[in-house]
Every structure is written in structure tokens, then in C-alpha cells.
Amino acid sequence: MYRVLLVDDDPHIQFTNETFLKKQGYQVFCAENGAAALAVARTAALDAVVLDVDMPDMDGISVCRRLREISGVPVIFLSAYACTDDRIRGLMAGGDDYLAKPYSLVELELRLRLRIQRRRNIETKEVLRFAQLEIDLGLREVRYAGVSARFTTLEFDLLAFLAQNPGQVFSYEQLYDRVWNSPMNQGIHNLQVAMARVRQKLDQLCPGFHYIETVRRKGYRFLPQPGEPS
């Protein structure tokens, strides 16, 4: 039985989601605001969180950032706004998925199940190794000499994709299409910001090594260090 926290200030949406997921066999916790959600997350062993973006006092993006300080549980955002920048903001805050309202309850449950299974390391156990750098695709962790660093969902997906294709240059459009799985619209600046954070975190985690190279006017590529397999 998967344990899911539903966070929404709309009682109708909350009741509808809760009723459907309980019928699918989920154990459901509910919270009507960010403070209540964080309180549940600190005490319950959760498998996933379904989080409304548009809430008073503390919006979903802020809740997700706070949640990421205490948990790596998958987070699926719900929002009436589905523009590219909003979705990327959610992913950069540490979210795992984004579903626009109105949505299908069947799709919500499917996305929940897939995210939970990935988190439980059912989907893959592959670990990419480059000397002391390890990119664990199952646990979605980045480690260097046994020390781990926290990457948001978008940051990890970008790094993992590049590391799975070492030496190959990918443009902004290709990265957006391959990682986001949708055509490029308006997100180049956000992608640049995300890549800058990936590089910064890698440089801090692996001092003296520069695994990601910016190829001027072309894009980015992952470079194994000398002596490592490519």
C-alpha cells in the first residue's frame, strides 16, 4: 500500500482525489495548507506528495523547497497554470512532475505509481561511474568519493542525460526536448540557470574536476576525466 499526502486548499478537489486514490488501494493523508503538509511530512513515512501550487499563505513551490530539506519523497504539482516557466519553476524547486488542471484522475494515479516505483528503485538499478563520481539512476543520487550532493529533479535529469551520452554535444533545444519530453517553447533561460546550478554543484562536489563543458553557440557536453572510460 502506497502512502500519499494530498495538499490542496480546495475541499472538493481534495475529496475527489482522496476518494479515487483510496479506491485504488492508497493510504491517503490530507493537508489543506503548507504548514499542515510539512507537519505531516515530518511524522509520516510517505511514498509521494500531490501538491497544489496555488495556495494562500505558503504556495506549493515554497512548500516543496521546505519539504526538500527533510525528504526526497516524489512530489507531483497540480496547477491551473501550465505555462513552461511555471513547470520549470516547480521542477527547479525539487518537484518530480507537473499536472495541469483539469486533469484525469487515472493519469494522476499512473504518474504517482510510476514516480513511487522509480523512487523504490524498481525501474533501474544502474549506476554511472566516472572514477570517484557516481550517478545513481535508481536512487537518483550524485556521489563523489562517498559524499553526496542534493540535485533537484530537473538538475539530476539534465546531468544523468548528459552522463549517459559522454562526449556528445547537445543544444538547448535538444536538452529541452529529451529531458522535458516536449518541444522547446519558452524555457532557454531557465535551462541555462539549471545547467549553471548543475555545474556549480559538480564543481563543489568534485573539486579540481570539470565534468560539464559549455560549447559556445552549440550547447553542453559531459566529459569523463582523463583515464576514465567514455
Q: Please, what are the averages of pLDDT over each run of 10 residues along the chain (230 residues)?
A: 92 95 94 93 89 89 89 88 73 86 92 84 72 87 89 87 92 77 57 87 90 88 68
Beta strands in the chain (DSSP E): 3-7, 27-31, 48-52, 75-79, 97-100, 127-130, 133-136, 141-144, 147-149, 212-215, 219-222
Angle, helices 105-119/11-23, rounded to nearest 10 degrees: 60
CB 26 within 8 A of CB 1: yes
DSSP state of 46: -
Closest CA to 153 of 213, 211, 76, 222: 76
CB 179 within 8 A of CB 152: no
Can you tell me whether residue 223 is helix, strand or coil?
Answer: coil
CA distance 163 to 157: 10
CA distance 193 to 92: 9
Looking at residue 150, what is its pLDDT? 86
Looking at residue 133, what is its pLDDT? 93
Looking at residue 80, what is its pLDDT? 79
Looking at residue 146, what is its pLDDT? 85
Looking at residue 230, what is its pLDDT? 44
Beta carbons within 8 Å of 183's beta carbon, 6+ residues apart: 176, 177
Looking at residue 184, what is its pLDDT? 47
What is the reported pTM? 0.63
Looking at residue 121, what is its pLDDT? 60
